[in-house]
Structure 1
Amino acid sequence: MKTLTILKTTITVLFFQHTFSQETKKETAPPQYTIENCVNHFEIEKATKTKVGYQYWFADKDFTQENTLKMSIVEPGKSTHAPHHHVEEEFFYILEGTAEFYLDGNTKTAGPNTSFYCPSNMEHGIKNVGNTDLKYLVIKKDLR
């Protein structure tokens, strides 16, 4: 009789664990992808104002499950933040303006059609060193 009670308890626990697991998966399920939500055209009215310009998310990790695509627009002489590091690797792609890239103690100045790769956990940063707005894409893969 004791074995039967233990078996019933074990089955009940497993059932609830499975049910909870399924509910959790439903909450984190990817969105339904359609042509409407997979095509995203930049509109300044939908951009978020920052202290140094604007940012516009074409796709965030909640939409793609692991990748993000953002455009940053930074005013002359400013940067979005000080050099930093994080676990995610990151690409910057310059669309307009002049950027100074910082990577692990070194800098490089570049203009449009230039990319900058930041490996995981390396200190990096980007700032506008030109006379016009700096416009660049940030592509990041979430490694969590």
Structure 2
Amino acid sequence: MKLSTTIKVAVVALITQQSIFSQEAKKEANSTTPNYTIENCVNHFELDKAVKTKVGYQYWFADKNFTLENTLKMSIVEPGKSTHAPHHHVEEEFFYILEGTAEFFLDGKRVIVGPNTSLYCPSNSEHGISNPGKTELRYLVIKKDLK
């Protein structure tokens, strides 16, 4: 009987401790979460706030410091250039072509697409995007951030 009571007490203690750790983790997560308002939840593209890159520029509509786990960025790539060589990472990723022509590379195959096309990159797939056109390529990058 005493062993059974000891086990019950240990289980209750573990559950209590787990609950306390869970509450502390929630408090910590909430303390780093921004205060969301209509003013900071609406983001209009402004070229002077874009970051210049070697091949064009990028503009973060929502980065990992603003959202809980998703990011949204617009990349602008000059004709004949690409943001980087084909690569892979754990996060899955979506591209949405706004303007221009994109050459999409996925696991050894290539396709050329135009505006209003979405491109999906599964986790750990080798992928890349470049601009084979004569005008700027503008596309959105949507990704879940693994913090």
TM range (shorter): 0.7 to 0.9
Are residues 28 and 124 of structure 1, via their aligned partners in 2, closer, same or farther at CA, if it must alter by over 3 Å?
A: farther
Which of structure 1's runs of 4+ aligned residues deviate more than 4 A? Answer: none
User: Are residue 136 (structure 1) and residue 139 (structure 2) matched?
Assistant: yes
Aligned-residue identity in percent:
75
Q: Secondary structure at the match of 1:36?
A: helix
CA distance in 1, matches of 2:29, 2:59: 28
CA distance in 2, matches of 1:40, 1:27: 23
What corresponds to 2:33 in structure 1? 30
What corresponds to 2:91 in structure 1? 88
Q: In the TM superposition, what is the alpha-carbon distance from 1:116 to its structure 2 partner?
A: 0.3
Unpaired runs of 5+ residues, structure 2, are 1-16
In the superposition, the TM-score normalised over structure 1's length comes to 0.82
In the superposition, the TM-score normalised over structure 2's length comes to 0.80
CA distance in 2, matches of 1:121, 1:143: 13
Unpaired runs of 5+ residues, structure 1, are 1-13
After superposition, the CA RMSD in angstroms is: 2.0
Greater mean deviation of Cα atoms: 108-117 or 24-33: 24-33
Instruction: Decide which of 65, 70, 80 is 1:62's aligned counterpart.
Output: 65
Are residues 120 and 26 of structure 1, via their aligned partners in 2, closer, same or farther at CA, if it must alter by over 3 Å?
A: closer
Aligned residue runs from structure 1 range 2-41, under 5 A: 21=24, 25=28, 29-41=32-44
What corresponds to 2:10 in structure 1? none
Report Cα offsets for 1:5-42 as digits up to 9, x if no partner. Answer: xxxxxxxxx8xx97xx56x8168521010000000000
Residue type at the aligned position of 2:109? N
What corresponds to 2:9 in structure 1? none
CA distance in 2, matches of 1:59, 1:42: 11
